[in-house]
Chains A and B, each alone.
Chain A
């Protein structure tokens, strides 16, 4: 079945870096735009970044712009999130999600989502 599995989370000190991975299976990864979404403990969902199917276009939320970099390797069916200059407020569960699009239209939604990986930034 279609599945996304995140990895790479952990505890890191402020100012340090961490790289998350999202491994896809059960669908043609190279055909889809992919997203990262995060959720701070007890809080709501925050969109983080998107990468187009060919990797040529990337966009970021304001809170991570200039610090995080999204990338993908379609040969490995994997997406990444390089997180630099981490802050305490980056503490969250990070989810990857596939972007689904209505054929012939521009409506899109996220499905499926991975199970999430927890990133804790603390001194």
Chain B
């Protein structure tokens, strides 16, 4: 099974900060990596698929990069509505999620 490890587990940042979340796969997954945002009490929503493709309607301050085993989600300028938990997901072999990164606004 492919394991996904995110870091950090949580972070607190100020409005306007650049935020970076990393996701590491236990084996090579090429570009089969998605990112989701989940707000409390709500279902997850896809932000980025295939490592770097922005889902329609998602603000351009979100971006994704990486390949192989190491991937990054970047929020270029954190906004108040960006609080929540972010999950990476590999789809190379079946489907596995990272443990999540909780983003709080300072």
> Is B49 positioned at the interface, with any CB of A under 8 Å from its CB?
yes
**A48 nearest in chain B by CB position:** B95
- What residues on A are CB-neighbors of B43 within 8 Å? 95, 112-116
- What residues on B are CB-neighbors of A45 within 8 Å? 36, 38, 44, 87, 89, 97, 100
Q: How many residues of A contact B (CB 8 A)?
A: 24
> Is B50 positioned at the interface, with any CB of A under 8 Å from its CB?
yes
**B34 nearest in chain A by CB position:** A109
Q: Are B50 and A46 in contact (CB under 8 A)?
A: no
**How many pairs of residues, A versus B, come closer than 8 Å at their CB atoms?**
60
Q: Mark B14-46, 1 if CB is under 8 A from A, else 0.
A: 000000000000000001101010100011111
Interface residues of chain B: helix, strand, loop or mixed (majority): loop
- What residues on A are CB-neighbors of B91 within 8 Å? 107-109
With the chains together, A17 CA to B46 CA distance in Å?
31
Chain B residues with a Cβ under 8 A of chain A: 1, 31-32, 34, 36, 38, 42-46, 49-50, 55, 87, 89, 91, 94-100
Given A62-B1, A111-B46, A113-B44, 13 more A-B residue pairs with CB atoms under 8 Å apart are A44-B100, A45-B36, A45-B44, A47-B94, A50-B94, A50-B95, A102-B50, A107-B31, A107-B32, A107-B91, A109-B34, A110-B44, A115-B43
Q: List 18 A-B contacts (CB under 8 A).
A: A35-B95, A45-B44, A45-B100, A47-B96, A62-B1, A102-B50, A107-B32, A108-B49, A109-B89, A109-B91, A110-B34, A110-B44, A110-B46, A110-B89, A112-B43, A113-B43, A115-B43, A116-B43
